[in-house]
Chain A
Amino acid sequence: QSALTQPASVSGSPGQSITISCTGTSSDIGTYNFVSWYQQHPGKAPKLMIYEASKRPSGVSNRFSGSKSGNTASLTISRLQAEDEADYYCYSYTGSTRWVFGGGTELTVL
C-alpha cells in the first residue's frame, strides 16, 4: 500500500487560510470515509485534529476543518496562527483492516 500523497510544504501568513490536500485512490479515500488528520510539533506525538473526513474532536479549534471529494481529502486551517506551524499528516483506512498515512506536509506560518 503506497503512502497517500500530500504536498511537501505549504505556507501562509497569520490570519490567512491554507488548505492541505491528501490524494489517495478509489481503494482507500475514494471508498471509505475513515480519513483523519494529525498535527505534529517537533518532539511530540501526533495529535488528532479531524476524523471521519470532517469531524472535529472535542477541544480542537473550529479553525480546523476537513472535507473529502472523490479520492482526495483536504484539511483547511483558517485564521492562521503562529502555533499552527507544524507537520500535518493524513491517514486513511484502506480495507482489509489496514491503514496508511500520507507523506506529510510542513506548514510554515510566515
Chain B
Amino acid sequence: QVQLVQSGAEVKKPGASVRISCKASGYTFTRYYLHWVRQAPGQGPEWMGMIDPNGGSTSYAQRLEGRVTLTRDTSTSIVYMDLRSLRSEDTALYYCARGGFDALDIWGQGTMVTVSS
C-alpha cells in the first residue's frame, strides 16, 4: 500500500540541527511532490517546503528559507528534511506528505522534534 514512513523522535539543544527522513513506498517515487508540514503543540499546520523527487527542485516557506533544506535519494525513495539553528519555537510534530498542486493525499506518521536546553 502507499505509505510514507518517517524516522523517530528527536531531542535537540538550541542551535543544533536535525535531520528527519521520509521513506516512500507503494507508488512511483518520482511522480509526486513531497511536502513537509509541521505542527507546533496546540497549533495549526504550517507548510514548510516541497521537493520534486523528479529532478530535485525545491521550494521553501519564506520564513524558513535559509534554515531548511530538502534533499532526496531516488535509489531508496527517501526524502530528507534538514533544519538548522534550532530554537524552542521549532518544537513541533513534523510530517512529510505526498501531493501535487491540488492537495496532500498521503501523510507520514509524524516525527516529534523537541528543542530544549
A45 to B5, CA, bound (A): 13
CB distance from A90 to the nearest CB of B (A): 10
- DSSP majority for the B interface? strand
The bracket for how many chain A residues form the interface is 20 to 34
Judge if A96 is at the interface, Cβ distance under 8 Å: yes
Give the number of chain B interface residues (Cβ < 8 Å): 20
Complex CA–CA separation, A104 to B46 (angstroms): 11
Q: Contact at A98–B44, with CB atoms within 8 Å?
A: no
Residue positions of B touching A, CB distance < 8 A? 35, 37, 44-47, 50, 59, 61-62, 95, 101-105, 107-110
Query: Measuring CB to CB, which residues of chain A are less than 8 angstroms from any residue of chain B?
Result: 1, 3, 32, 34, 36, 38, 45-48, 51-52, 57, 87, 89, 91, 93, 96-104
